[in-house]
Structure 1
Amino acid sequence: MLTITSIKNGIVIDHIHAGLGIRMFYQLGLDKADYSVALIMNAASTHMGRKDIIKIENNVDFDVTMLALIDPNVTVNVIEDEHIVRKVKPELPERVEDIIKCKNPRCITSVEKYIPQVFTLVNRELGQYRCQYCDEIYTVGKD
């Protein structure tokens, strides 16, 4: 059995659906980090079956709403002296720019690379966003 110890000060991103941790890892730029980072994949979970966890031994500043775009069920725990001092449950933002990419090949953003990719939230419960230019629907965690 693999054992990952606790961190003294930093951030733990927990409750990531199995397989999505690597996507968050790269989106946060943790592959270029000069501090300790642990990506735990397919860890056993009583509530989720399997989950991913990211442990960051550093207090990095990042937009937690971006994490909700990858997995809306994620929890961010801030750790100080090996204790959780704050839990953050990110919510889906109303508007997203240059994070989601439109998959419609006829969308203006597919042809004109200088135009920003802009999506607006249309259904919070389903995690659905609509492209500002072509009305293509993007579903968080599925697309």
Structure 2
Amino acid sequence: MLNVDGLKNGIVIDHIQAGMGIKIFNYLELDKVNGSVALIMKVSSKKMEKKDIIKIENVVDINFDMLGLMDPNITVNIIEDDKIKEKIKLSLPKKVENLIKCKNPRCITSIEKYIPHKFYLVDEEKSEYRCEYCDEAYKLEF
């Protein structure tokens, strides 16, 4: 049986879709974090059958909107003094800026490079966003 100790202080990213943990690990550049990091993959779960978990010693700055885009079912636990200080249930963010790029060549963001890419959620079930400037649809693929 695999044994990964608990954290005294840090972050636990839980309920990650099985196989997505490595993508999140790489996106967050956790190989560069000062402290221990555990990526546990394909763990049995009552809720999901299989899931990934990431444990990060010490608190690091995490973009919760991007994590919500990558996997809206994630739970983030902030651990302080061996206790869960805060539990954050992620979901698809209602608006995102510079996390999705508009692919429409006629969009102002394609012509003017300094303009931020802004998208708003139009259909949570289909994970569909639209560009704020040109209304181009963008569907997230998980």
TM score, norm. by length of structure 1? 0.82
Q: Displacement of 1:111 after TM fit?
A: 6.5
Match of 1:74 in 2: 74
Supply the distance in 2 between the matched residues of 1:48 and 1:91 (Cα, whole angstroms).
16
Match of 1:116 in 2: 116
Residue 39 to residue 111, structure 1, CA distance change in 2 (3 Å): farther
Residue 107 to residue 27, structure 1, CA distance change in 2 (3 Å): farther
Q: Displacement of 1:114 after TM fit?
A: 4.2
- Percent identity between matched residues is 56
Unaligned runs of 5+ in 1: none
Q: Displacement of 1:132 after TM fit?
A: 2.9
Match of 2:28 in 1: 28
Q: Displacement of 1:113 after TM fit?
A: 4.6
SS at match of 2:25: helix
Supply the distance in 1 between the matched residues of 2:23 and 2:32 (Cα, whole angstroms).
14
Unaligned runs of 5+ in 2: none
Supply the distance in 2 between the matched residues of 1:89 and 1:53 (Cα, whole angstroms).
14
Supply the distance in 1 between the matched residues of 2:44 and 2:111 (Cα, whole angstroms).
43
Q: CA RMSD in A?
A: 2.2
Matched residue type, 1:94: K
Match of 1:60 in 2: 60
Residue 19 to residue 101, structure 1, CA distance change in 2 (3 Å): farther
Q: Displacement of 1:84 after TM fit?
A: 1.6
Matched residue type, 2:98: D
Residue 107 to residue 23, structure 1, CA distance change in 2 (3 Å): farther
Contact conserved, 1:107 with 1:133, CA < 8 A, in 2? no
Q: Which moved more, 1:33-42 or 1:118-127?
A: 118-127
SS at match of 1:47: coil
Match of 1:106 in 2: 105
